[in-house]
DNA sequence: CGCTATGTATAGCAGCGTTATGCCACACTG
DNA sequence: CAGTGTGGCATAACGCTGCTATACATAGCG
């Protein structure tokens, strides 16, 4: 029942339908009370939905197989992140609407951890010099997040991603110490492959 | 009446109060119908509020006096942009909730135009080489936007701005062709004062 | 078998945005 | 100056929302 409600809510969100308590209960085939026994009302359900969104994102990023080029891997993670957000834009927006108070913030941070790990490998491989993996991951994340939200909000066209994401990633990675040419090649390989 | 409603709504937004039609009408000293004669219901009022948010942002950026260092100016614009967003976080979030359909999108783009103009001066001054001012401005904007939203959503602490914004701007500007050392100095000068 | 406890169905509450209706005040016209 | 529209607002009601109090069913256990 719990998972049925969460998945139904996520489905309605993806389908751009208004996620209302009554419609949700009807779809699942139960009454509105179920949301109150399994969650703390609608706010609790939204928390669970956001959590599920982060779980899906983490799974998606975990599917990106590491290679011997950590900078390529960072770009590939960015591509997977962007693809996930573009497939479920409403869910992505909802995730960050109140990402501060999540039922299990630690689990939600798993996706970010993958990024930090890859940045750490880049430091270990000597691609990044004198760079804090957390700082690099944060900057990559913030840049991509901002651009993605502008695209999802239709402020920028979808093509803006292909135009600016590789450039932004290359800028961040180069600033972290990577060689400009090599960085561009790695980013290109990871982004489009 | 129009402006009174808009300003009251913006004030309630800033005060973190729920912006409800009835409360709004009571505060302004009128009835709920006024929102329907002057706007197209609540959705129309939200559009006007977002428009007002962009207008305030544009005014704020226009107050940044240009110097003979366009890269410094870009960083100073970023600082003003961030300060404006941090002072009215709820309004800033609302602005981008549906920034696609604004009553007057052209007027809202004025803020972005200031950024493009400064980037153009950097190109003209030879600081940026082979760089499209619109692309540079877009990348700066997207990066800052993403980081700001993460801070406003309390995903990242407020200190993250001071830690990452100058680094991100320097990365973008350096990638546009600016000299690394000179860029760092300009960004630092523009950001902190 | 009976008792308990957990989860669900029902019905009703206050609040929301929206709208139909009626009134009133002001501007225009002969 | 009186008569006549017309635009803007107050009032009240409608359907919808999230939420909750209450009654009922059903599964587990001594």
**Averaged over B149-163, what is the pLDDT?**
97
Between the CA of B17 and the C1' of C13, what is the distance in angstroms?
A: 23
Give pLDDT tens digits for A11-35: 999 999 999 999 999 999 999 999 9
Q: How confident is the model at residue B85 (pLDDT cuts 50, 70, 90)?
A: very high
CB-closest option in B96, B160, B172 to A171: B172
Strand C: list positions under 7 Å from protein Cβ: 7-11, 15-21
Cα–Cα distances (Å) from A119 to A41, A114, A123, B19, B169, in that order, read 40, 9, 6, 43, 20
Chain B positions contacting chain A at CB under 8 Å are 96-100, 135, 138-139, 141-150, 153-156, 160, 163-164, 167-168, 170-172, 174-175
The single-letter DSSP state of residue B100 is: T
Mean pLDDT (chain A, rounded): 97
C-alpha distances (whole Å) from A104 to each of A109, A117, B49, B104 are 9, 21, 34, 41
Q: Identify the residue among B175, B176, B179, B180 best suited for mutation to test binding to A, counting A beta carbons within 10 A and taking the highest.
A: B175
Q: Band of the pLDDT at B193, cuts 50, 70, 90? A: confident
Nearest C-alpha of chain A: how many angstroms from B29? 32
Residue A169 predicted with pLDDT over 90: yes
A82-95: pLDDT as tens digits: 999 999 999 999 99
Rounded Cα–Cα distance for residues A175 and B90 (Å): 32
Out of B145, B150, B172, name the one closest to residue A150 (CB).
B145
Residue A118 pLDDT more than 90? Answer: yes
Percentage above 90 pLDDT, chain A: 97
């Amino acid at each position: 029942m719990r998972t049925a409600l969460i998945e139904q809510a996520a489905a309605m969100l993806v389908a751009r339908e208004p996620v209302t308590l009554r419609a949700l209960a009807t779809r699942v085939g139960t009454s509105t009370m179920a949301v109150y026994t399994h969650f703390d009302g609608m706010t609790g359900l939204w928390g669970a939905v956001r959590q599920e969104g982060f779980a899906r994102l983490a799974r998606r990023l975990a599917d990106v197989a590491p290679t011997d080029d950590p900078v390529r891997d960072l770009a590939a993670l960015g591509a997977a992140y962007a693809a996930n957000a573009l497939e479920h834009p409403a869910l992505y927006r909802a995730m960050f609407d109140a990402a501060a108070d999540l039922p299990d913030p630690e689990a939600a941070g798993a996706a970010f951890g993958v990024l930090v790990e890859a940045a750490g490998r880049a430091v270990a491989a000597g691609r990044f010099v004198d760079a804090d993996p957390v700082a690099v991951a944060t900057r990559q994340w913030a840049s991509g997040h901002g651009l993605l939200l502008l695209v999802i909000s239709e402020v920028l066209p979808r093509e803006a991603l292909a135009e600016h994401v590789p450039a932004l990633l290359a800028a961040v990675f180069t600033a972290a110490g990577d060689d400009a040419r090599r960085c561009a090649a790695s980013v290109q390989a990871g982004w489009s492959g």
